Amino acid sequence: MGSKWRKAKLALGLNLCVYVPRTLDDSAAPSSERLSDAALLSPTNWDSRPMTPTPSSHGLRLAKSGSKPSKTSIVDEITGVLYSIRMLLIYAATTVMTQTCSICLTKMKQGGGHAIFTAECSHSFHFHCISSNVKHGNHLCPVCRAKWKEIPFQAPTLDPLPGRASVGWPQTDAMMTVVHRLPPPPRRDRRHVVPLLQVPEPSVFNDDESLDLQPAFAERSSGNKIAAGHNAGKIVEIKTYPEVSAASRSNSYDNFTVLVHLKAGATVARENPRGNLASLPQLSQTPRAPVDLVTVLDISGSMAGTKLALLKRAMGFVIQNLGSNDRLSVIAFSSTARRLFSLRRMSDAGRQHALQAVNSLVANGGTNIAEGLRKGAKVMEERREKNPVASIILLSDGQDTYTVSGSSGNQPQPNYQLLLPLSIHGGDNAGFQIPVHAFGFGADHDASSMHSISEISGGTFSFIETEAVIQDAFAQCIGGLLSVVVQELQVGIECMHPSIHLGSLKAGSYPSRVMADTRSGFIDVGDLYADEERDFLVSINVPAESSMNQTSLLKVRCAYRDPITKEMTTLESAEIKLERPEISGEAVVSIEVDRQRNRLQAAEAMSQARTVAERGDLAGAASILENCRRLLSETVSAKSHDRLCIALDAELKEMQERMASRHVYEASGRAYILSGLSSHSWQRATARGDSTDGSSLVQSYQTPSMTEMLTRSQATFLGSPSAQRLIQPLWSFGSQPKPR
């Protein structure tokens, strides 16, 4: 038995020094309780227990192989080994983490030109990163959330105070550090105390960083880049499709459909938009319009933990992919809202400052979306200078309980417009001033309010169902914002034949109007991203012809502004004509027209199903979606295996499954439907379910710019070495390197 036990101990390593809990016969004070994992990670417990298993008279014992072991001693020794293994793992994890600054996510190296701060919890950071973190009022370790007793700040040359915190100094660094010991917390109630060192906000947000555009660069650039990017001065392409190419001369039609199709040009050159990690898309060298972006981020108590960590990572991706002429400001809100920093350019220094500010965020408090949006709109309203493109990104995982009350009495639906400042929704003015792209995070957010905010402002609503998708959702959004090629686009439609009149303009969520004489109409489209397409169905009457072989139907005009040159351009299509033979054969419906009819029909079914589901009739809602799927399957485009029709069917089926029960509908069904409605009504990509996955069928309206940014996001998230060359942002106009 003894030899077998010795062999077992040798195999398990029990003949080595192991750490075991103290027992009553130890000379030290009795303490036999085991620490939890959380306690092991707490720095307060690191003093009494060594991080590596070294011999000590207070905790380490040599396993006595010469004595016969009892069952109790076997259990104790095995327990000790497991404890030692856990301590070694913690030590190994700590060692790995100390090699990378958890704030700027770059490697730390002694003598590398930057001071290194090691906190009392043993985690290390670049000194300039952590001092900025502290400056924003955060005195918790960004890694383990331990509360520090000593904090770093920059000061004139002084010797550091004695203590456990230390700074590794490179020879080239002239700045010294003072480690400031925090005073013990007072015993009074501190619920309303403002965090220390928090920078006060100015009353007017006119402190935006000046623009540094270089308009002369366009003249110095090679002409073929500008010509290729702007398609030789033609940024928008117009195509028209009557529902049939020929109609009998003797027949008249009361509801004849004409499709108006618009496509924006491509200003971003790509080689492999859906490439794998081994062949990622190349960075563009074509000028683009710079962006003013304000992100309004929910940091209420429900965002604590993994949600906030992934939000910080996603914001880091956004910051790294903005160009030096793009400007960013971040608003953080919980019960109140505060601006982390002014609207500033994302130069190297600007990115560093933004990363530090975002990583200083701590989750607590309630959810006041209205206050966050008010402060975000204030940044946009009071800026002294303006980049050509402006947008707000809103993310929240909760419900605003400060501004909008639930439905009651004669008001069945809350007035979500109260959440939006006038400058965002524009009041009764035509068009939108500042679009808000809203992101509902998790199962507890208010999808109805987030969808309403985006719909009123002209933005999109995305549903982030799983935490890990947040960066991809942001990537898809900014992929579009960083590729705007058309602004203030307006479509005008004019009847050519004297007997033709407009019946309706089916334009989704875009504002449209038919003039009183019903001879002309207009659609306000606004911005277009590179490669984006828009489709509008125009309903007209077609009279019978007595002798003419053709009937002139419509003419389409487009007016838009180039965001770089600021020039207004007007395009005009050729007249749309319908062939009128005496006797026409079997009419073949245009697949392009049929495809868009299917899109609008599916969107209408989604809207009706949602209305029925809100009344509690989930079976009836699912039946509406099923009937729509059946009708779509019988159409010309579906029988031709049209990609959009396949995607619509997959989406409608997914919505049916999310109406399986009231719980499922409340948790994800409502948000999934509203995000789908947002996507189809604006004809713009939104995130929902697995839509950002490359294998997903639900990828409608994704542009190459969005796909490229998604590829970057997924590559960096996987930590692939191939992603390192993607860290540099897409160049905006004026921010490219000057020709040598």
702 pLDDT tier (thresholds 50, 70, 90): very high
pTM for this one? 0.71
SS3 track for 48-73 = CCCCCCCCCCCCEEECCCCCCCCHHH
**Residue 182 DSSP code:** P
135 pLDDT tier (thresholds 50, 70, 90): low
pLDDT at residue 47, as a whole number? 40
Alpha carbon separation from 563 to 37, 486, 528 (Å, rounded): 55, 6, 10
**pLDDT tens per residue across span 281-295:** 444 446 899 999 999
**pLDDT tens per residue across span 27-51:** 444 443 434 333 333 334 434 334 4
Across the range 393-397, mean pLDDT stands at 97
Q: Do the Cβ atoms of 632 and 648 come closer than 8 Å?
A: yes
pLDDT at residue 407, as a whole number? 52
CA distance 126 to 167: 9
pLDDT at residue 99, as a whole number? 66
User: Which amino acid does the sequence have at 383?
Assistant: R
The arrangement of strands across the sheet holding 337-345 comes to 337-345, 327-333, 291-298, 389-396, 436-441, 461-464
pLDDT at residue 169, as a whole number? 35
pLDDT at residue 479, as a whole number? 96
Residue holding tokens 């009819």?
597
The CA-based dihedral angle spanning residues 367, 678, 437, 386, taken in that order and rounded to the nearest 10 degrees? -140
**Which distant-in-sequence residues (6+ apart) come within 8 Å of 109 by Cβ?**
none
79 pLDDT tier (thresholds 50, 70, 90): low
**β-bridge pairing 124-126 and 116-118:** antiparallel
Q: Do the Cβ atoms of 693 and 469 come closer than 8 Å?
A: no
**pLDDT tens per residue across span 652-672:** 999 999 999 999 999 999 999
**Which distant-in-sequence residues (6+ apart) come within 8 Å of 532 by Cβ?**
263, 264, 480, 683, 684, 701, 703
pLDDT at residue 261, as a whole number? 97
Could you tell me what percent of the chain has a pLDDT over 70?
A: 66
**pLDDT tens per residue across span 444-496:** 999 999 999 999 999 999 999 998 899 999 999 999 999 999 999 999 999 99
HSE-up (13 A, CA, CB side) for residue 152: 26
Burial class of residue 598, CB neighbours in 10 A (0-12, 13-18, 19+)? buried
